[in-house]
Amino acid sequence: MTTTDALAAIDEGLDHTYADVYDLMSLMTGDEKHSAAATSTLDVLWVLYDSVLDVSPGTVADADRDRFLLSKGHGPMAYYAVLAAKGFFPVAWLADWASYDSPLGHHPDRTLVPGVEISSGSLGHGLPLAVGTALGLRAQGLDSRVVVLVGDAELDEGSNHEAVELAAAVDLEALTVVVVDNRSATFGVPGRIEERFATNGWHAVGVDGRDHSLLRRALTRRRRTPGEPARPSVVVAHVEEKWS
């Protein structure tokens, strides 16, 4: 399918595929498809919006929608492409992204882009905001999930650790953190992210961040096993090393 065909198909509300997202990303990057495929967050985002999250263009203002918070706001092309592919905003917005008149910047702005839950860019804010969001939903008796995507290097920010401890202490079962781990953290240690969350009382799993069926299984809402305490969960999605 050519890019133009993909745009037409999506704008007509026809079925669209994961492969279409490459074309949409190429509109922004001007690069070949293999460049889009290398984006670390692409597969996690696709699986979340394609088959996990209970949110759609028609429900972006519903109180009981699932929330997805992109904390790692850098490199949002995959995020924009997936939102456009799912109809949250017109694909025509992609071509002139980051221009003065475009609502799509190098970091997303929730006041400008339908479907974007938080404005991000500065690291270490999304997870604390997600904790507050999950607390607010719980206080209102809403059963929605809150899924927040952070990068492995973003966990360098100490603000995350304040949030990790509180979320476990107050049993925030509706909260899921997805760490996209491309080993870009300075002083990172393999395996430590899962260990750190688990030590803090979270349910923690690591998964191949490119395998859609494994991602789907890991990201689908967990139901507690008998006797298991209520606790937040983390999915560490391992992808290729950034600097390799």
Partner 1 sequence: MTRDPRATFAATTTDLLEEDLSVALVYAEISGQYFREAERRHPERVVNVGIREQLLVNVGAGLALTGMRPVVHTFASFLVERAFEQVKLGFNHQDVGGVLVGSGASYDNAGGGRTHQAPGDVALLDTLPDWTIHVPGHADEVESALRLAVAGSGRDYVRVTGRQNREAFPVTPGRFHLVRRGAGATVVAVGPMLDPVLEAVADLDVSVLYASTVRPFDGRSLRAVLGAPDVVLVEPYLAGTSTRCVDDALVDVPHRVLALGVGRRELRRYGAPADHAAAHGLDAVGIRRAVTGFLAA
| Site residues for partner 1 per CB under 8 A | 63, 109-111, 117-119, 122, 124-125, 128-140, 142, 158-159, 162-163, 165-166, 170
Measured from the CB of residue 113, what is the shortest distance to partner 1 in angstroms?
A: 13
Select 115 or 124, whichever has its Cβ closest to partner 1.
124
Measured from the CB of residue 192, what is the shortest distance to partner 1 in angstroms?
A: 21
Measured from the CB of residue 226, what is the shortest distance to partner 1 in angstroms?
A: 25
For residues 153 and 45, give the distance between their C-alpha atoms in angstroms, rounded to a whole number.
18
Select 59 or 122, whichever has its Cβ closest to partner 1.
122
For residues 75 and 165, give the distance between their C-alpha atoms in angstroms, rounded to a whole number.
28
Select 134 or 180, whichever has its Cβ closest to partner 1.
134
Select 163 or 215, whichever has its Cβ closest to partner 1.
163
Measured from the CB of residue 212, what is the shortest distance to partner 1 in angstroms?
A: 29
Measured from the CB of residue 136, what is the shortest distance to partner 1 in angstroms?
A: 3
Measured from the CB of residue 121, what is the shortest distance to partner 1 in angstroms?
A: 8
Select 142 or 198, whichever has its Cβ closest to partner 1.
142
Select 52 or 174, whichever has its Cβ closest to partner 1.
174
* Residues 197, 171, 212, 114, CA torsion sign: negative
For residues 113 and 19, give the distance between their C-alpha atoms in angstroms, rounded to a whole number.
23
